[in-house]
Structure 1
Amino acid sequence: WRGMTSLTHICLLLYRQVVPLPIFTCGGNITGESGVIGSQGYPGVYPPNTKCVWRITVPEEKVVVLSFRTIDLENDNLCRYDYVDVYGGHVSAQRLGRFCGTFKPGSLVSTGNKMLLQMVSDANTAGSGFLAVFSAAHPHERGDQYCGGRLVKPNGTFKTPNWPEKDYPAGVTCSWHIVAPKNQIIEVKFEKFDVERDNYCRYDHVSIFNGAEINDARRIGKYCGDSPPAPVFSEGNQVLIQFLSDLSLTADGFIGHYKFRPKKFSITTTPPPTTTHPVTTRPIPLKYSVALCQQKCKRRGTLHSNYCSSNFVITGTVITAMMKGGSMYATVSIINVYKEGNLAIQQAGKTMSTKIIILCKKCPFIRRGLNYIFMGQVDEEGRGKIAPQHFVMAFKTKNQKGLNVLKNKQC
């Protein structure tokens, strides 16, 4: 089942021998009960420096269900260069997702009878683009795969399709957009939870985002497995909860609840970025943190002398870096893993990333966009933790050989 992408290509080649694919152009207005949409020139390489918009309209009282058959766009962890945006309507609609690389999402469902796709490409790397099919369906059919919606009541419930009678179906995406009044935040907790287990939640998973759209930089957590995650609290008055199942294994699913809270509500727990178990955050005691950061900032030892004492060793590019209190919270796009330990690593397509906390924001000092070797410890949430005594240095190609030798070292 994991080889579905290559199988799809084979089926498409066989299909084209019998029924030639239409000639796909840049955007258009499409109406009807069903149809096929492809990037300009598909399956040839899509052109650079383009912006194409497709507006889909199905009959009134129905919703649009969109499924990507193939997707092959320039890969980037944050989809900044070439990407496809899908919106749940034509004007001022919620964005259902942004996609790039070769990761194929589950079905996307609009809240009304309209959907909009927008594909943007820059001047550089390109692929064969995408092929998607859409169909009209009755909204929120019980026992069917359609789910999600906008939730604005002070409290409520959300659950996977088919809950609790049978397992959730394969190949679906559900998005719940929860909106509270501007002076409130949102608490989300799961009563029952059973989603296909994977160490990095690469297949079936639930993601929760601050705000109204799918944005990796604003993701609160990503969850799978059979243990309910710890309660989640939003930063502002909106959250987006996305459930995705791929085309293979399924499980019981989940039922969750949300409620609005005043902004000053005391938050005692926060979730890990990717987890299969609930975790409670243990903040660093202030006195310890201050004492730690008063140490002289100087790199000690060598790659060799620090390797065995480190929980994890990776090379990567810093893609986000944000100050919180006296620490820096960074997202690192991984180049190579030499020692993983309990480090939580997320995967989107072929891109892997992880979260790292620099306990003292200026020691060691890192900059966004640069490559580093990180050696440090892992906290209870699976995040990398770098203190002044740990080893961090700029990564150069010449370091690769030495790191490969260390990878085979017995500690």
Structure 2
Amino acid sequence: MWRIYSIFCAWGVLSLTEVCAQSLLGPTFTCGGNITEDSGVVGSPGYPGVYPSNTKCVWRITVPEGKVVVLSFRFIDLESDNLCRYDYIDVYSGHVSGQRLGRFCGTFRPGALVSTGNKMLIQMVSDANTAGSGFLAVYSAAEPHERGDQYCGGRLDKPFGSIKTPNWPEKDYPAGVTCSWHIVAPKNQIIEVKFEKFDVERDNYCRYDYVAIFNGAEINDAKRIGKYCGDSPPAPVFSEGNQLLIQFLSDLSLTADGFIGHYKFRPKKFLTTPEPLTATTPAATTRPIHIFPLYSVGLCQQKCKRSGTVESNYCTSDFVITGTVITAVVRGGSVYATISIINVYKQSNLAIQQAGKTMSTKIIVLCKKCPFIRRGLNYIFMGSADEDGKGKIAPHHFVMAFKAKNQRGLNVLKTKRC
């Protein structure tokens, strides 16, 4: 049972001699606790055995004042779900009302997580059905200025400033890094972010290295503005409120030059003036989703009426799927929806996530009431997908309620050559 620890220490993955020695004797991990040592190991109860069900464990780490907490996961094996709804690990900067640095489940292992102060909170939650060995992580105290090669992120509340990847511009960013910048403006202002240079490992769906930007103060998929990779700087991004969270993640393989970006605070009325709308419109078809409401105003003035049939729209659509609306969040004039997929008949560039046998995708209904979709109902979606894999539904696309009787006709269309 403890052979895994012997290998672990022999490889030198854990540089803490005392910890390795204890591991070889058979360590026991408790459910939560207050931790005040400068460095150590945190693990799920019973690790590496199966973690218990219906459990909530909270670990509060405190290192000396003036230092930050650096947390690195060595193993994660929790019940997998694309939204981490059942068993998951939350990591926060601080102990009370802190910024959430991430939520993790399955076997995905993030890069190093760094607190903005001397405190960090780890919370593990499991439901009635458990599956996996839990997690093992190491933490240590570090000087804030030691962020150059490995650490990055933090809270930014000045009227303007810059963000950049570790090592910029001398060399490529390192592998296995997670950076989170929490930008906070006064309550009557919004935040604009522009990337001056941008080079992040390219992937059609930005699965490996990427920059994700969220409205608010935490990593919340329902509030994600966009996810970016490749070597073309995204168009300017604007927050809806006075807070933005920018996350950069690199996996353990290929790296690239990285990026440098600049932010500044803007008055709330900034987006309602003519000039910014005109300036950002040309990029709307290929870059960040925050722009869609800006150019969809004209679309949404059209009369909303479905035209044609499933058959007549099949070949002109990038993707054709059937699915259940799991979430539908209104932002600006659009609806950002998560769809649990029933069947895929045509995919094209549409990004599809899979967790076990469950598949899901995200689409944007450009005009929030055209077509009008409701959470919990099943639909046939026929739309377009951009180069980042994001599905879009405009008024001229075809969407209708899905019933079992539609299944046969769709199966026939799947074999059709367009």
| Fold shared by both chains (TM-score > 0.5) | yes
Question: Are the structure 2 counterparts of residues 124 and 367 from structure 1 closer, same or farther at C-alpha, using a change threshold of 3 Å?
Answer: farther
What code does the residue aligned with 1:91 have? V
- For the 8 Å contact 2:300–2:395, the answer to whether it is kept is no
Aligned residues: 395
Match of 1:105 in 2: 110
Gaps of 5+ in 2: 11-22
Question: Are the structure 2 counterparts of residues 406 and 348 from structure 1 closer, same or farther at C-alpha, using a change threshold of 3 Å?
Answer: closer
Task: Give the C-alpha shift of residue 405 in structure 1.
Answer: 5.5
Question: Are the structure 2 counterparts of residues 102 and 334 from structure 1 closer, same or farther at C-alpha, using a change threshold of 3 Å?
Answer: farther
Match of 1:165 in 2: 170
Pairing 1:313–2:320 present: yes
Pairing 1:75–2:80 present: yes
What code does the residue aligned with 1:289 have? C
Question: Are the structure 2 counterparts of residues 223 and 273 from structure 1 closer, same or farther at C-alpha, using a change threshold of 3 Å?
Answer: farther
Match of 2:212 in 1: 207
Pairing 1:353–2:361 present: yes
Task: Give the C-alpha shift of residue 202 in structure 1.
Answer: 0.5
DSSP-derived class of the 1:119 partner: strand
- For the 8 Å contact 1:67–1:106, the answer to whether it is kept is yes
Task: Map Cα deviations across residues 363-392 of structure 1 (whole Å, 9 max, x no partner).
Answer: 4x4321334331233479843215376143
TM, length-normalised to structure 2: 0.83
Match of 2:16 in 1: none
What code does the residue aligned with 1:301 have? T
Pairing 1:374–2:381 present: yes
- For the 8 Å contact 2:322–2:402, the answer to whether it is kept is no
Structure 2: distance between partners of 1:105 and 1:219: 18
Task: Give the C-alpha shift of residue 195 in structure 1.
Answer: 0.5
Aligned equivalent of 1:141, options 117, 137, 146: 146
Gaps of 5+ in 1: 1-8
Match of 1:292 in 2: 303
**Could you tell me the percent identity over the aligned residues?**
72
Question: Are the structure 2 counterparts of residues 319 and 384 from structure 1 closer, same or farther at C-alpha, using a change threshold of 3 Å?
Answer: same
Question: Are the structure 2 counterparts of residues 326 and 230 from structure 1 closer, same or farther at C-alpha, using a change threshold of 3 Å?
Answer: closer
CA RMSD of aligned residues (A): 3.4
TM, length-normalised to structure 1: 0.84
DSSP-derived class of the 2:262 partner: strand
What code does the residue aligned with 1:377 have? S
Question: Are the structure 2 counterparts of residues 32 and 354 from structure 1 closer, same or farther at C-alpha, using a change threshold of 3 Å?
Answer: same
What code does the residue aligned with 1:322 have? V
Higher percent of residues as helix: 2
Question: Are the structure 2 counterparts of residues 348 and 237 from structure 1 closer, same or farther at C-alpha, using a change threshold of 3 Å?
Answer: farther
- For the 8 Å contact 1:224–1:276, the answer to whether it is kept is no
> Which has the higher mean CA deviation after the structures are superposed, 151-160 or 10-19?
10-19
Structure 2: distance between partners of 1:307 and 1:90: 52
Match of 2:34 in 1: 29
Aligned equivalent of 1:84, options 74, 89, 106: 89
State how 1:265-344 maps to structure 2 within 5 Å. 265-266=270-271, 267-268=276-277, 269=280, 281=292, 283-284=295-296, 286=298, 289-293=300-304, 295=305, 301-302=309-310, 304-323=311-330, 328-343=335-350
Task: Give the C-alpha shift of residue 321 in structure 1.
Answer: 1.4
> Which has the higher mean CA deviation after the structures are superposed, 40-49 or 146-155?
40-49
Task: Give the C-alpha shift of residue 100 in structure 1.
Answer: 2.1
Match of 1:50 in 2: 55
